Chain A
Amino acid sequence: MTTQIRQLPATPSMMSPPPARWPHLSTVVIVGLIAAVPLVFFGDYWMFVAAKILAFGIAAMGLQILYGRAGLMSLAQGAFMGVGAYAGYLVAQSGLGPGIQLLAVIGAASLVALIVGLPTLRLSPLRLAIVTLAFGELFNWLLINSTEWTGGSQGAPVEPLIIFGFDTSYPLDAYLVALAFAVPLTLFALNLGQTHLGRRMMAIRDSEMAAVSVGVFIPKTKIIAFVLSAVFGGIGGWLYSATTGFIAPPDFDLFASVFLLAAVVIGGSRSVAGAWMGTAFIVLLPEGFNLIGQPNLYALAGGLLLATTALLLPDGFSGVFAHIKSLITRMRAQEDRA
């Protein structure tokens, strides 16, 4: 028997958007300093790694919107990265520039998200995860079996993006181009929590019944979250392809999606900063083993480290920071009382 809940009309306070709250200046300064580190200290290789972190981080932020805010699990974020990467690649093959490529990336990711999401977003989160898993597997199969378009399982070389003279075949330029997308998208994701849309997503995550009872139109909110997540994934994939200069189906398979989910969970699914920290961890982990001269050890210790980190930090890295922050606040309060 289905439970009927009377949908109330939206209240006046819900009709008028709350004032946009942008991040504190201190946050902006810290983020700016972190973003400047590669520019000052890094050589070509680490700049390339930093550009990859930015590309994956954008995709992870998309998953954080869907999973951390709206409570919908997706195992296809890697596939949406692939949608963006291959859409950009196909448009570039026609000789069209980055502007058209970006539009194609956004359009393709949105369209695919609508096709997958519209009939299935009514499902429970785990069944939705299965649908997204199935979509990801289908997409990968399609990539492998359409050799004349995609290069098949052998992959395809990707032309670098050239935007205002910045050429992504150079690591520094690739980093700056990725940064130019990462900054506004991060600000958008940060501000989303302060908007009605973001609050509706969180209401759905916490209780669909309660959300319906206060006038939230659940299908519309879910589909917006799904499309937003896909667009972030598509842009991330497009930037990844421009940074690496080569794409192949394994870059966007189930494991890519699972690793993005791991990044979001390890970083802390409720925070945008968590998505970035988790992404940095996942991308830098193999590099760390390279650095100590034990690249083969990564395969062995990487999985163990992933499991251990997730067990020791169940709220993710951002949970640790939140804990430290609350400790400091409590200590200050105690000092004030004394």
Chain B
Amino acid sequence: MKSTNRKERWITVESSNPFGQLILGGLTSGLLYALLLLGFMVVFQVSKTVNFAFGQVGMVAAFSAWFFWSSLGLPLPVAIGIGAILAVVVNSAIGIIVITKIPAGRPGLDLVVTLGIFLFLTAVMQLLIDANAHAFPSLGGDKRTVLGGVVVNANDVAIMVLGVFVIGGVYVLFSRTTLGMELRASAENADIAASAGVNVRLLRLGTWTFAGLLAALVAVLVASRLSVDAFYMTPVLIKAFVAGMIGGMDRFFAPLVIAIGIGVYEALAIFIWGSSAGTPAVFLLIIIALAVMPKRFTAARHEVRA
């Protein structure tokens, strides 16, 4: 069985530029947080709902892809494709059947409802596959080259390219296109947007589909660097969620930059204080940052429903 702790391996890998190696590792982790957050934010923009189950949607894609590949012997791209379709179906079902039914003005209800879905998806995957952790194919992790003393693998490059293109693409879509304007209009006031001829239902379905695909993509990439089980996406979701809350879910670049910053800081903490220091260092920083940050930076322009 392959190592389930690749994260430590890429941090401690022999390279002539350990600091550069560290920054690369942190950047790629941070980009994964940012990509997941992007999907989370897109859903939030449309539904004004915190979807606690969003990470599990990605888990469904990656865990089922692993199962189709390892147990049924399907080629990896086909297995990942089926997993992504499952994630799209599950995410769209959550959006259409559940999220739209959550009444407004009930604080915390979205958190509880999506927590129920989180537990349901976790249980379904544990029942259908199992409750163990499994090594996922490394997806280019073994194809390496050295740039400036830093060992760069194809997986890192894929994450950086995807990160730049997806984040840039969504930004252009939202800010520069008619479709983006219609999306923003339907998020702001669906009734007025519909009366102006915008197909709100189709736009929402498209948003849920896109978010599901993004969750699948991130989950597969995270699995390729760590391992896959029914819970592995929860820490990733928490860090993405935290970045979104600190940066503001109604902003675009600020939360994504914070997500990348969390990845880099986490890598630095692990490098300096050891592998067990990553999580406490991140959460300690969050507490300190929010405690000392001037109020004008922490005031929410539009508070989320939860």
**A interface residues with partner B (beta carbon < 8 Å):** 2, 67, 71, 73, 116, 119-120, 122-127, 129-131, 133-135, 137-138, 141-142, 145, 254, 258, 261-262, 264-266, 269, 299-300, 302-308, 310-311, 314-315
Contacts and interface: CB of A to CB of B under 8 A. Distances in A.
Given A307-B120, A314-B109, A134 B287 contact: yes
B246 A141 contact: no
Contacts of B114: 307
Given A123-B290, A130-B290, A269-B107, A306 B112 contact: yes
Interface in B5-52: 52
Nearest to B241: A130
Interface stretch (B66-74, B84-92, B137-145, B277-285): B277-285
A255 to B, nearest CB: 9
B98 A137 contact: no
Given A119-B291, A123-B298, A73 B306 contact: yes
Interface in B291-306: 291-292, 295-296, 298-300, 303-304, 306
Interface stretch (B121-129, B179-187, B210-218, B220-228): B121-129
A243 B220 CA distance: 43
B119 interface: yes
B103 A314 contact: yes
Given A299-B119, A302-B123, A315-B106, 11 more contacts: A71-B107, A124-B303, A131-B286, A133-B238, A137-B238, A138-B287, A261-B108, A300-B124, A304-B116, A310-B109, A311-B113
Interface string B227-248: 0000000000010011001100
A311 B98 contact: yes
Among A2, A73, A142, A310, the most chain B Cβ lie within 10 Å of the Cβ of A310
A85 B302 CA distance: 38
B295 A310 contact: no
B101 interface: yes
A307 B116 contact: yes
B108 to A, nearest CB: 5
A246 B9 CA distance: 36
Contact of A124 (B118, B124, B286, B300): B300
B276 interface: yes
7 contacts: A73-B108, A130-B290, A134-B287, A299-B119, A307-B120, A310-B113, A311-B102
Given A123-B298, A137-B279, A299-B126, A269 B108 contact: yes
B173 interface: no
Given A122-B295, A269-B108, A127 B283 contact: no
A303 B290 contact: no
A135 B287 CA distance: 7
User: How large, as a class, is the contact surface on chain B?
Assistant: 35 or more
A126 B306 contact: yes
Given A119-B292, A125-B303, A310-B113, A131 B298 contact: no
B106 to A, nearest CB: 5
A310 to B, nearest CB: 4
What are the 3 tightest A-B residue pairs by CB atom distance, in nearest-first order? A307-B116, A303-B119, A306-B116
A303 B122 contact: yes
Contacts of A264: 108
Nearest to B249: A126
B160 interface: no
B259 interface: no
B115 interface: yes
Q: Which of B112, B123, B284 has the most CB of A within 10 A?
A: B112
Given A300-B124, A304-B120, A138 B107 contact: no
B294 to A, nearest CB: 10
B111 interface: yes
Contacts of A299: 119, 122-123, 126-127
Nearest to A137: B283
Contacts of B127: 299-300
A305 B116 CA distance: 7
B245 to A, nearest CB: 5
Contacts of B113: 306-307, 310-311
A134 B283 contact: yes
